[in-house]
Amino acid sequence: MKRNRIAAGALALAMGLSAVAPSFAAEAKTTDAKEIKEAKKDLSSSELFQEQYKELLERTNKERNDYVAAKTAYDKADADLKAAKETLAKEYKAYEELINPIAARVDAYNDAVKRATEEYNLYAERKADGKIEKIKVPTFTKNDEGKFEVKFEEKEILVPGEVYDEAKSGYESEFEVAKKRLENAKKDLEDIKGKIASAADQLQRVRAAETARDVAQTNFDKAEAKLAEQKAANGKYIWENSLAEVKAAAEGYNVTIQATDKGIVVVKKDDKKEISAEQLAKLKKSIEKANETLKAVDLLKQYAPNTAKLNTAKLDALVAEQKATIAKAEAIIKGADKKVALISTAFAAEESKEDSKEEVTSEDVDALIKELDDNTDAINKEMENLDKQVKDEDKKEDKKDEDKKDEDKKEDKKDEDKKEDKKEDKKVEKTTVVEKSANKAAGSNAKTGIAGVAGVAGVLAAASVAYAASKKNN
């Protein structure tokens, strides 16, 4: 009995069925959502969709895999063809550079040999009778189809005769010059023949590059045809049409369909919290604080010029960032009674609205509140930092004034005879003290002083009042 059970189980497995739950294989074939749900009550919406549209998903994945394989082969064939054409162009150019000067050099060489031979025979006791040879000079042209053709033109070439060391009496110097010219002509001939041999070698490289280009072209044509087979009648790729079917089917489910490197993926939609009235109230409060702080920055620069003269680049950057954040927050407040869309800070000038927008969530608002508050704190700290820098500078100047007083007193004791100068010094000293005390009486340090305001805390308080007043006026 035990052996019979084992055999039955093995047979079931071999047939692709489950020995433990034989009904499962039949369930996988059904496309009825109700039957699937009853059979598998614990399925999520994503799993239910994948069960019901299993065949469509499998077909779409296969079509996409076929497309990806065809597109990959096409891209490779395209890259190989371009590389083969570039290589061929380089070999063509190298060949042209070798052969183009040859024909002209042969003609110039023949003229030089003829003149040199005549001069030599004129001044030598024995004539240097040369001979005529024929060589094939390559030429390089394009045919009507745009392909390069190599042709060989047969040319006659003068070969210098034997040179002897016997000059006519009284013409020794002329003889040496003519002899040297003939010897140089022989060297030129060797160089020309060397260039022709090099051109022949280069021509072999051209032919090899042409063969490689032809093979690459054939492979490209095949790959292009294979990719074209993936196109549907509507001009789209077959898998794209199937994907549209999948997405249309998914509209009734809480899922999204994504085409990834791993295939068509069914993803459950995230449940997004709605924006609450409490959140909007918090956002408004953060906007007000932010605007008060920006007003404080304006007051600081307006009534504390010495502070404004300091390096405020960091403060200005923080202010610019905060203004952009306020703009986003105000857009949310303005559209709170609608379906709000949060546009990126850069406003995506080059992008379409569809690409640059995304629906605002409760989490987005919380993040924006935090961003506003963090920026406000950062701006306040930077203003306090600037205020501290001015106060420190103030103390240094006070110290300088005190030191100056001490020096003046010492000078007064040493030079009692200069009473008029002493009186003038006291006058200047008195004036300085009066100016400083006037600033301090105004309720601030001598540098940042805003009348009746003590430091940044006072500036913030004044900004709050000013911002409230501006809101009433508006």
pLDDT tens-place string over residues 225-276? 999 999 999 999 999 999 999 999 888 787 888 888 778 888 877 645 567 8
pLDDT at 182: 86
pLDDT of residue 177 exceeding 50: yes
Q: pLDDT tier at 416 (50, 70, 90 boundaries)?
A: low
Pick the closest to residue 369 from 472, 238, 278 (CA basis): 278
Average of pLDDT values for 28-42? 50
Q: Residue 441: helix, strand or coil by DSSP?
A: helix
Give me the residues paired with residue 155 across strands: 135
Whole-number pLDDT of residue 417: 58
Token pair, residue 129, equals 């009778």
Rounded to the nearest 10 degrees, how much is the dihedral formed by the CA atoms of 392, 396, 402, 403?
160
Q: What is the reported pLDDT for 222?
A: 96
Q: What is the pLDDT of residues 264-311, one digit of tens each?
A: 888 877 645 567 888 889 999 999 999 988 988 888 777 766 665 666
Per-residue pLDDT, averaged over 303-327, amounts to: 80
CB 250 within 8 A of CB 256: yes
SS3 content of the chain, % helix, strand, coil (to 5): 70, 10, 20
User: Percent of the chain at pLDDT above 70?
Assistant: 68
Is pLDDT larger for residue 373 or for residue 429?
Answer: 373
Q: Which amino acid is at 427?
A: K
User: Per residue in 101-141, pLDDT tens?
Assistant: 888 888 888 888 888 888 888 888 788 777 888 888 887 77
- pLDDT range class, residue 440, cuts 50, 70, 90: very low
Strand runs (DSSP E) across 239-369, as ranges? 255-260, 263-268, 341-343, 357-359
d(CA 53, CA 57): 6
Highest mean pLDDT (candidates 165-174, 217-226, 399-408, 425-434): 217-226
Which residue bears the tokens 């003609």? Answer: 107
Structural element, H or E, at residue 136? strand 131-142
Q: Residue 199 has what pLDDT?
A: 87
Tokens at residue 79, please? 């890259």
| 140 strand-pairing partners | 150
Across the range 15-32, mean pLDDT stands at 35
Does residue 68 surpass a pLDDT of 90?
yes
The pLDDT value recorded for residue 2 is 39
How large a percentage of the chain has pLDDT more than 90?
22
Res 414 pLDDT > 80: no
pLDDT of 434: 39
